[in-house]
Amino acid sequence: VAFASFCTFVLIDSSNILDANKAFVSLSLFNILRIPLALLPMVVSYGANFIISIKRINKYLQGDEIDPETIQHEPNPHTPVVLRNGTFSWSKDDSSVLNGITLDIKDKSLVAIVGQVGSGKSSLLSALLGDLYKTEGYVNVYGKIAYVPQSAWIQNATVRQNITFSQPYIEEKYNKVLEACALTQDLKILTGGDLTEIGEKGINLSGGQKQRVSLARAVYANSDIYFLDDPLSAVDAHVSRHLFDKVIGPTGMLKKKTRILVTHRVTFLPQVDEIIVLKDGQITEQGTYHELLAKNGEFAQFLLQFVSEQHEELAEEDKEIIEQLKEKMGPEFEKRGSIVRSETLSNSSDGIRRRTMSNASRPSTKKGNTSRSMSQLREEPESTKGNGEKFKLVETEVAQTGKVKWGVYWEFFKACGLVSCLLVILAFCLSSTFNLLSSLWLTEWSNDSLNPAAANDTTLRNIRLGVYFGLGLSETTFTLTNSIILNFAILKGARLIHEKMLHRMIRAPMSFYDTTPLGRILNRFTKDIDVADVTLTFNIRLLISQSFRAIVAIIAI
Ligand SMILES: Nc1ncnc2c1ncn2[C@@H]1O[C@H](COP(=O)(O)OP(=O)(O)O)[C@@H](O)[C@H]1O
Ligand SMILES: [Mg+2]
């Protein structure tokens, strides 16, 4: 730019003479222009980023919200849960999962919901929570709700924090809840007791323990209405008996509460107040255990299916159910029982699907299953002991602060390649030298104006112009070269670091993933790599170029 301007200036008219005044004032003006021009491309890209981010945030903020009108909360002390002709779907465009559900749940009653997998049991609870999209009907829920989801929701905190869940810790109540939820024994095994930290998504607890912690949280919350989505699915038969007797059932801690229990355990059905049978999103039957059994309809079918699927492994108490069933269905029992059995055998793929979908509910469906979950419970002590040694699972992240060690720089430069680093420095040296020379040359040139003979000498002027051009060109070339080498070197360094990191990650033991929050790993790979890629390049370039410029300026002055 400087060359072009000076060139135009001297060539346009022979009376134009480049003197010190003109030359250096224009040079400093060009320098002022330099930074804004260099930043201009960045402004464009940041502008684009800005627009995209705004769009994303907008989309996020304008996403669908739960419609507060879905569920009414009118006082209704005798029937806290009322559903009239409710039809629900998972989203506006989906077809409905629940059709024409009408339901009254009396205060302090225990209602069981049974049905095949995918019949809409969990959906019904979600609907009562207001998570589903209501197409028609009326829902009224009165009272504080506690919800135990089908797959336990565990926070990355201590067991105690997970159970008290922001409520004040009252030791007596807490211990009672632990005892009722059969957690006392499990907590003794953990080295940190109830202060053991549970990893992200509860990785150091077994499925059954998670479910019980989740249940304990609900019990501790002391709500009015309990929605329990298959809380007995991942625990052993004797533990589920304990949970039912001490927590859920008519003798349990929750006996004064309204409870809706989704379950696959037929064992407990005789003890509930009412049973609702769901099939394909509709209520097919409703009544007490004996009423439904007498009807010999859908519910009897369900029992029969359950019984025939696990004939050999039935617990002692289930035998009673079979007897009753036999009595009610008479000769049909044997016939249909065998039909169902052969059906389940031929539909074994369907059976597998059903089991996986139900999140390994019904642990006693198959013998292998039972023994596995039991051995899981037994093995748990060892595995958690090893883990529990640490007591605190997720270590807090410590960022290094203060001075960066020289070793880190050394590592980084090694990663970038020492040869390229030297080349960069050399190129910077050369470009600065030429920059210095062209300044000196300009000084010489402007001194010419003091000498009238030299001022009017066109040959001299052309030489001055030519050399100035040559110097400028060399400077530009070397600046370009060093930029290119620098970028490649840092790119190489960053890639090497990334590859090393990826390599380590892939080879890391599973326990690393268990104890390191995913977010932290993501951060390493996104934010920190970004720093190595972009910020470092920018800063190194700035550092080198500015220090050379400072040297040049000092020499020139
Ligand atoms: N979060 C969800 N989003 C969309 N569809 C779902 C969701 N959860 C369940 N469904 C659908 O709702 C139907 C009923 O499922 P669900 O209520 O989970 O059955 P159940 O609890 O009786 O096994 C299934 O067809 C299932 O695909
Ligand atoms: Mg379910």
Burial class (CB in 10 A: 0-12, 13-18, 19+), 191: middle
What pLDDT, on the 0 to 100 scale, is given for residue 355? 40
Domain's final residue, options 358, 388, 418: 388
CA distance 445 to 448: 5
C-beta 120 within 6 A of ligand 1: yes
Ligand in nearest proximity to the CA of 91:
1
CA distance 242 to 190: 21
Domain's final residue, options 337, 355, 388: 388
| Cβ density class 242-279: b for 16+ within 10 Å, e for less | bbbebbbbeebbbeebbbbbbbbbbbbbeebebbbbbb
Read off the CATH number of the domain in which 442 is found. Answer: 1.20.1560.10
* C-beta of residue 489 within 8 angstroms of C-beta of residue 421: yes
Cβ neighbours around 501 below 10 Å, total: 16
Of 60, 55, 84, the residue nearest 72 (C-alpha) = 84
Nearest residue CA, atom 4 of ligand 1? 90
DSSP 8-class letter at 119: S
What pLDDT, on the 0 to 100 scale, is given for residue 171? 92
Distance from Cα 292 to the centre of ligand 1, integer Å: 25
Owning domain of residue 305: 105-118+143-388
- Give the DSSP H or E segment for 85: strand 81-89
Distance from Cα 134 to the centre of ligand 1, integer Å: 15
125 in any annotated domain: no
* C-beta of residue 303 within 8 angstroms of C-beta of residue 336: no
- What is the number of the ligand 1 atom nearest to the C-alpha of 278? 22
Residue 105, CA atoms < 13 Å, CB-side half-sphere: 30
How many domains would you assign to the chain? Answer: 2
* C-beta of residue 225 within 8 angstroms of C-beta of residue 81: yes
Distance from Cα 122 to the centre of ligand 2, integer Å: 4
CA distance 131 to 388: 37
Read off the CATH number of the domain in which 369 is found. Answer: 3.40.50.300
Same-domain status, 331 and 217 = yes
| Dihedral pair phi/psi, residue 362, rounded to 5° | 50, 70
Same-domain status, 384 and 498 = no
445 in any annotated domain: yes
Taking a 5 Å cut-off on Cβ, the residues next to ion ligand 2 are 122, 150
Same-domain status, 339 and 423 = no
Find all residues with CB under 8 Å of 128, minimum gap 6, and list them: 71, 81, 83, 139, 141, 227, 260
> Taking the chain (557 residues) in consecutive chunks of 10 residues, what is each chunk's mean pLDDT?
77 73 80 84 93 95 83 90 92 89 93 92 93 91 93 88 91 93 88 80 82 93 93 88 92 93 89 92 92 87 78 62 70 54 44 40 38 37 40 61 72 82 86 85 78 72 82 86 86 86 89 80 85 81 85 81
* C-beta of residue 498 within 8 angstroms of C-beta of residue 436: no
C-beta 131 within 6 A of ligand 1: no
SS3 544: helix
Burial class (CB in 10 A: 0-12, 13-18, 19+), 157: middle
Nearest residue CA, atom 2 of ligand 1? 90
CA distance 392 to 196: 6
CA distance 24 to 557: 12
Q: In what order do the strands lie in the sheet with 81-89?
A: 96-105, 81-89, 133-141
* C-beta of residue 281 within 8 angstroms of C-beta of residue 120: yes
Of 252, 217, 250, 215, the residue nearest 234 (C-alpha) = 215
132 in any annotated domain: no
Same-domain status, 203 and 253 = yes
Rounded-to-5 percentages of helix, strand, coil across the chain = 60, 10, 25
Ligand in nearest proximity to the CA of 353:
1
77 in any annotated domain: no
